[in-house]
C-alpha cells in the first residue's frame, strides 16, 4: 500500500459516514412507512439542499442544476478530464436509507478524507447526487439522463408517482423544463464510479464484503397470449373445455425452468385472465414476461426456448421493449479489484440486476460500480439494511479506487 493511501485510510472517518447516513435517512422518513422521498417531492428537495450544504462545508464548488442534480466540484492539479463519484438520494415510496444515499455520502467521505490530510488529486473531481433515479417517474433515471444531455420532452409526458405527468410534477416543484432539456455534461469525464448496496443476496450469502459489478443486465420483455374458449364453468364438461389458463400454466413454469437452465432470471410478472369470473372458463390469458441477463447470446437462446414452448402450446409470442446489457469498463473493474487486494478484502464479480444512474453515465464515459452486501437481499423496503462495517468498507474501497484511477 502506498504511504499516501495508508495515511488517508488512517484518517478515514467511518463514524461520520454513519452519522451522515442517519441524518440524511431522517429526511422524509415516516415512522412505519419507511423513507418517502419520491422524486421532486418536498422531502426529496430538502434532502438535496442538505447534501448541497454538506458539499459547501467541504469546500466544494457546489450547486443544484436545472434537473435537481447536486453537483460538487473539486479542482485537480492537472488539466485532465474529471473523475466522478456519486449516486442518488431520491427513494421509492417506503424505501430504506442506504439505496443511493450510500454512494453520495461515501463520495463525500472520500472528499472529507482528502481535505483532512490536505491531499489533492491530479484530476478534477465531480461529486454527483442525481435526481429522480428511482422509477417513480416514467423518465427515470431522470437526473442522470438530463445530466448527459439525453432527456427528451416526450419522456416527461409519462406519469410520475403522484399520478400527474412528470412535466407537471417538475413544474409544481419550480423546475424550468427548457433549461433541464438544455443541460449538457459540465465538463469532460474520464470515469464514473458508483458505490451502491447490492439489493440482492449474493454478497450476503457468500459473506463477501465487496462486489465488483461487471455490468447492468439487459432486459427483454414479451407479451404472450393464450386463446381458448370462454364457456360456462358449470355446464361444460372437462373433456370439452379449451381453458386458456390451463394452456398458459405450463408455460409459466417453463419461464422459470428456462431462466434456471440459462443462468439468468426470468419472471412472469402479470397474468390477466379474461373474462375473469368464477363461473366462466378462461377464454384468453395475457402474460407479461421478462428475462434479465448480462450476456446477449444467452438472452437470445433463452428467448428462443420461450418462444418455441409458447408456440408449441398454442400461444402467441410477441417481443416487447428490450434494453441491452451495459457492461462496466474492464480497466475500472480491475482498479476496484486492485483496491480490494490492497485493502486485503475478498471481492466477487457480479452483474447488477437493477438499473442505476451509471447506465446513463456509460453513454459519455467508462463506468464501474462497487456493491456492498444487502442483508437478506432486501431493498426498496423499510427493512433495507447494510451493516455499518460494510458501509464503511465500501466507502474505503471507493477512496482506494479513486486514488488508483487518479494515478492512471
Smallest gap, in angstroms, from Cβ of residue 379 to Zn ion?
A: 8
| DSSP state at residue 212 | E
CB atoms within 10 A of CB 405: 22
Nearest CA among 75, 176, 63, 82 for reference residue 364: 82
Smallest gap, in angstroms, from Cβ of residue 100 to Zn ion?
A: 4
Q: Where does residue 118 fall: left (phi above 0), alpha (psi -120 to 50 degrees), or beta otherwise?
A: left
Smallest gap, in angstroms, from Cβ of residue 153 to Zn ion?
A: 25
Strands 315-323 and 218-227: antiparallel
Distance of alpha carbon 282 from alpha carbon 47, whole angstroms: 49
Distance of alpha carbon 240 from alpha carbon 205, whole angstroms: 50
Distance of alpha carbon 333 from alpha carbon 193, whole angstroms: 10
Q: By C-beta, is 192 or 226 nearer to Zn ion?
A: 192
Smallest gap, in angstroms, from Cβ of residue 279 to Zn ion?
A: 46
C-alpha cell at 152: 427528451
Smallest gap, in angstroms, from Cβ of residue 133 to Zn ion?
A: 6
Distance of alpha carbon 278 from alpha carbon 26, whole angstroms: 47
Q: By C-beta, is 283 or 355 nearer to Zn ion?
A: 355
Q: By C-beta, is 88 or 284 nearer to Zn ion?
A: 88
Binding site for Zn ion (CB under 5 A): 99-100
Whether the Cβ atoms of residue 110 and residue 399 lie closer than 8 Å to each other: yes
C-alpha cell at 23: 441524518
C-alpha cell at 378: 432486501
The closest residue (CB) to Zn ion is: 100
CB atoms within 10 A of CB 172: 13
Smallest gap, in angstroms, from Cβ of residue 102 to Zn ion?
A: 9
Distance of alpha carbon 84 from alpha carbon 147, whole angstroms: 13
Q: By C-beta, is 100 or 315 nearer to Zn ion?
A: 100
Q: By C-beta, is 99 or 243 nearer to Zn ion?
A: 99
Smallest gap, in angstroms, from Cβ of residue 26 to Zn ion?
A: 19
Q: By C-beta, is 195 or 247 nearer to Zn ion?
A: 195
Q: By C-beta, is 28 or 100 nearer to Zn ion?
A: 100
Amino acid at each position: 500500500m502506498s504511504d499516501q493511501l495508508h495515511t488517508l485510510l488512517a484518517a478515514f472517518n467511518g463514524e461520520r459516514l454513519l452519522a451522515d447516513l442517519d441524518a440524511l435517512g431522517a429526511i422524509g422518513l415516516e415512522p412505519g412507512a419507511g423513507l418517502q422521498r419520491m422524486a421532486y417531492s418536498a422531502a426529496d428537495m430538502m434532502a438535496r439542499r442538505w447534501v448541497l450544504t454538506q458539499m459547501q462545508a467541504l469546500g466544494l464548488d457546489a450547486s443544484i442544476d436545472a434537473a435537481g442534480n447536486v453537483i460538487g466540484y473539486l479542482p485537480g492539479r492537472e488539466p485532465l478530464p474529471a473523475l466522478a463519484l456519486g449516486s442518488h438520494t431520491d427513494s421509492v415510496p417506503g424505501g430504506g436509507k442506504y439505496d443511493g444515499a450510500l454512494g453520495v455520502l461515501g463520495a463525500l467521505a472520500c472528499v472529507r478524507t482528502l481535505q483532512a490530510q490536505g491531499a489533492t488529486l491530479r484530476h478534477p473531481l465531480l461529486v454527483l447526487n442525481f435526481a429522480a433515479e428511482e422509477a417513480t417517474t416514467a423518465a427515470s433515471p431522470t437526473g442522470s439522463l438530463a445530466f448527459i444531455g439525453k432527456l427528451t420532452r416526450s419522456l416527461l409526458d409519462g406519469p410520475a408517482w403522484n399520478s400527474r405527468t412528470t412535466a407537471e410534477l417538475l413544474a409544481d416543484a419550480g423546475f424550468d423544463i427548457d433549461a433541464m432539456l438544455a443541460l449538457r455534461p459540465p465538463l469532460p469525464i474520464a470515469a464514473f464510479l458508483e458505490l451502491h448496496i447490492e439489493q440482492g443476496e449474493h454478497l450476503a450469502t457468500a459473506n463477501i464484503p465487496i462486489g465488483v459489478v461487471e455490468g447492468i443486465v439487459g432486459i427483454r420483455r414479451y407479451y404472450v397470449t393464450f386463446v381458448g374458449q370462454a364457456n360456462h364453468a358449470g355446464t361444460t364438461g372437462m373433456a370439452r373445455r379449451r381453458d386458456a389458463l390451463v394452456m398458459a400454466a405450463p408455460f409459466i413454469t417453463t419461464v422459470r425452468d428456462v431462466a434456471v437452465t440459462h443462468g439468468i432470471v426470468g419472471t412472469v410478472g402479470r397474468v390477466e385472465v379474461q373474462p375473469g369470473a368464477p363461473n366462466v372458463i378462461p377464454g384468453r390469458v395475457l402474460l407479461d414476461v421478462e428475462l434479465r441477463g448480462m450476456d446477449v447470446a444467452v438472452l437470445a437462446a433463452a428467448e428462443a426456448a420461450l418462444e418455441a414452448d409458447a408456440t408449441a402450446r398454442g400461444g402467441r409470442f410477441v417481443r416487447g421493449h428490450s434494453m441491452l446489457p451495459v457492461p462496466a469498463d474492464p480497466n475500472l473493474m480491475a482498479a476496484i479489484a486492485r483496491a480490494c487486494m490492497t485493502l486485503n478484502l475478498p471481492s466477487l464479480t457480479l452483474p447488477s440486476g437493477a438499473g442505476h444512474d451509471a447506465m446513463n453515465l456509460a453513454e459519455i464515459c467508462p463506468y464501474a460500480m462497487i456493491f456492498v452486501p444487502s442483508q437478506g437481499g432486501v431493498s426498496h423496503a423499510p427493512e433495507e439494511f447494510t451493516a455499518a462495517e460494510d458501509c464503511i468498507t465500501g466507502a474505503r474501497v471507493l477512496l482506494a479506487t479513486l486514488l488508483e484511477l487518479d494515478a492512471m
